[in-house]
Amino acid sequence: MPSGDTWFSLEVSEHVAFKDRILKPGVFISVPKKVVPLATRRNRLKRLIREAVRADDYFQKRDKVYYFRIREWPGEIRLNDVKKMIARLQ
């Protein structure tokens, strides 16, 4: 896993505009193909983030938009690693 908080970012917004439309609140996860080339690894990262968010009370407020972005491949990580990283970003 990369050192520090460089591999993962979180942005929180009141609303998101997309082509002159306001999207409803929720969780958006971006794992670029350039960062994680294999689809199975991209999907696993998304599943881990979704599960960590689902279990965290901070994200139960559905009036905001949470945008997670993977900046670099963290290597093989576990759910506890993702939960710790999300707790640091809050």
Structural domain total, the chain: 1
| Beta-sheet pairing, 16-18 with 21-23 | antiparallel
Instruction: Please report whether residue 64 resides in a domain.
Output: yes
For the residues of 8-68, what is the DSSP string, one character each? EEEEEES-EEETTEEEPSEEEEE--TTTS--HHHHHHHHHHHHHHHHH-GGGG-TTSEEEE
Does 3 map to a domain?
no
Q: Can you tell me the distance from the alpha carbon of 90 to that of 86, in angstroms, rounded to the nearest whole number? A: 6
Each residue's pLDDT tens digit in the chain (90 positions)?
Answer: 444 557 777 777 776 666 677 666 688 889 999 999 999 999 999 999 999 988 888 877 767 788 888 888 888 889 998 888 888 877
Boundaries of domain holding 33: 8-89
Residue 1 lies in a domain: no
Please report whether residue 2 resides in a domain.
no
Joined together, the tokens standing for residue 56 give: 């965290």
Residue 52 is assigned to a structural domain of this protein: yes
Q: Is the pTM of this model over 0.85?
A: no
- Considering only CA atoms, which of 56, 47, 3 is closest in space to residue 29? 47
Please report whether residue 30 resides in a domain: yes
Residue 54 in any domain: the answer is yes
